[in-house]
Chain A
Amino acid sequence: MDKVIEIVNLTFTYPDGTKALQNLSLEVAAGESIGIIGPNGAGKSTLLLHLNGILKGDGLIKVCGLEINAANLASIRKKVGLVFQDADSQLFMPSVFDDVAFGPLNLDWPKEKIIREVDSALVQTDTMHLKDRLSHHLSYGEKKRTCLATVLAMKPEILVFDEPSSNLDPRHRRDLINFLKKINHTKVIATHDLDFVLQLCSRVALLDNGRLVLEGETIAMLKNNALLESHGLEAAHGI
């Protein structure tokens, strides 16, 4: 098995003393889709922020064989596309187009390629019509889709999504699922939307209180009602 992400004994404490991750170990194989589930405050977002070196806890994290450190940071950030839970802080340019083009510009691609990739990301997320709008004045779902576009436009090898389906209307949620099914990137998806996990992920990791409670094959995990309920979750309808 080709490991793309390797986390060993990760522990992270926020500056105010909150222990957000404790001794967490996890591996993700190339091309695999893994769901990260758990109640509010479990540490999902904190974990994802480690994957491209935004937060730095104790322990080992390797992405594509590279350990995350200052020297590797730039190349790791090219490989890992992270969509934040909070769309507001991910959008910062004056227009949606500029925002989506920001990442590709930093990759120093030729102009034609940038425009092509930005356009295709806009089409992919159905945000083409918002191109010239102010990114911070969109509706929540539109912002979320724009965030997806900003990351897709950079063509990362690994997609890391924090609550990708939150705020999306049913049609756009369906579109997102279909799109993610189509592409064979490695995906890490943190969500409360267990049906979303069921449709996209082959494996699921359950987090609670900053610890990895259990990981396993999706259907088996999501069928385990007792387990889910003891960690504040509910089984998906599709099961």
Chain B
Amino acid sequence: MEHYYFDEYSRNQSIISRLDPRIKIITFLAFIFFIIFTSAQNIYSFAYYGLILIMLTIFAKIPFLFILKRILTIIPFAIMVAIFMPFLKGGTPIARWRIAQIHFTISREGVLIFWNCFIKAVLSASCLAILGSTTKFADLLKGLIDLKMPKIIIMVLSFMYRYIFLAEDQMMKIKYAVAARSCARPKIRAFSGRLSVFFIHVYEKAEMVYIAMCARGFTGDIKTLDAFRIKPQDIAFMLIIIALLTFIKSLTGGYG
């Protein structure tokens, strides 16, 4: 069975994966703020941001394809939100045509809004992909707790992480069971039954796992073996990234 891991490269001992999770969260959050508050016209800023992200990916020893896949999972949502903008937004028309009595006009302002959504989604998604894949999930949660994220959100995240694997394994088991007892008959009927069994199984399994956690003394606090201590290289990392971002900002000027 193949699993999809958020924190696939958290154990690879790269410079980035060894950083204090809290520092990483803050730095990447700052990065995302810089991205969001850069105006869409500043194409060069986005290019520089991209360059920094590429460097970070190299330092983190993450294959580019991995980051690309992560971005591709988020992009459809951004595109869905922004795709109609070039048509709906009024302004200077840059293209216009007619299909079956309907006029389509693409405006310059609309395209800019689309670009704005698109590039910011791509860059922010890369930030999150680097952060998420280089930090052990438990450490990420612990870091968020230290940064005063509400406990309920932490709990939801931590259970989601556990149950995704359960759900995936369960689906695979049911698939095997169906395959073992069906000889190439149409699959549709089996599918609906499979889905309902799947939800019941996952529900019961999830409950058992919760019970098992309680049986081993879980009381709602997430604990990890590594106590975080901020090291000089953590501070250095944060300062370098933020200095770079500020520099880029001053080069290209103005908040958008």
Contacts and interface: CB of A to CB of B under 8 A. Distances in A.
Interface of A: 52, 54, 74, 77-78, 82, 84, 86, 88-92, 94, 98, 101-103, 105-108, 111, 114-115, 132, 134, 136-137, 150-151, 154
Interface in B201-256: 205, 208-209, 211-219, 221, 223-225, 227
Given A115-B225, A134-B3, A137-B1, A86 B217 contact: no
A14 to B, nearest CB: 12
B9 interface: no
Interface of B: 1, 3, 7, 11, 137-138, 162, 165-166, 169, 205, 208-209, 211-219, 221, 223-225, 227
A94 B5 CA distance: 10
A180 B215 CA distance: 21
B1 A103 contact: no
Given A106-B217, A154-B217, A89 B225 contact: no
Contact of A74 (B3, B213, B217, B224): B217
Given A92-B212, A94-B137, A136 B165 contact: yes
B217 A136 contact: no
Given A98-B138, A103-B217, A134-B3, A111 B212 contact: no
**Which interface residue of A88, A98, A115 has the most chain B CB atoms within 10 A?**
A88
B219 A86 contact: no
A94 B178 CA distance: 28
A98 B225 CA distance: 9
A89 B215 CA distance: 12
A78 B219 CA distance: 12
A177 B148 CA distance: 48
29 contacts: A54-B211, A54-B215, A74-B217, A77-B216, A77-B217, A78-B217, A84-B208, A84-B212, A86-B208, A88-B205, A89-B209, A90-B212, A91-B212, A92-B212, A92-B213, A94-B7, A94-B137, A101-B225, A102-B216, A105-B223, A105-B225, A106-B219, A111-B225, A136-B166, A136-B169, A137-B1, A151-B216, A154-B216, A154-B217
Contacts of B212: 84, 89-92
Given A74-B217, A92-B213, A136-B169, A106 B223 contact: yes
A166 B141 CA distance: 36
Nearest to A52: B215
A105 B11 CA distance: 20
Nearest to A97: B225
What 4 A-B pairs are tightest by C-beta distance, nearest first? A106-B217, A89-B208, A103-B216, A105-B223
Contacts, number: 63
Contacts of B224: 105
A33 to B, nearest CB: 21
Contact of A54 (B7, B138, B214): B214
B212 to A, nearest CB: 5
Contacts of A92: 162, 166, 209, 212-213
Contacts of A78: 217
Given A92-B209, A94-B7, A94-B138, 4 more contacts: A54-B214, A74-B219, A132-B11, A154-B217
Nearest to B226: A111
A190 B219 CA distance: 28
B139 to A, nearest CB: 11
A108 B219 CA distance: 12
B182 to A, nearest CB: 24
Nearest to B7: A94
A52 B224 CA distance: 24
Contacts of A151: 216
A152 B235 CA distance: 40
Contacts of B1: 137
Nearest to B1: A137
Contacts of B208: 84, 86, 89
B171 to A, nearest CB: 13
Nearest to B224: A105
Contacts of B214: 54, 77
A92 to B, nearest CB: 5
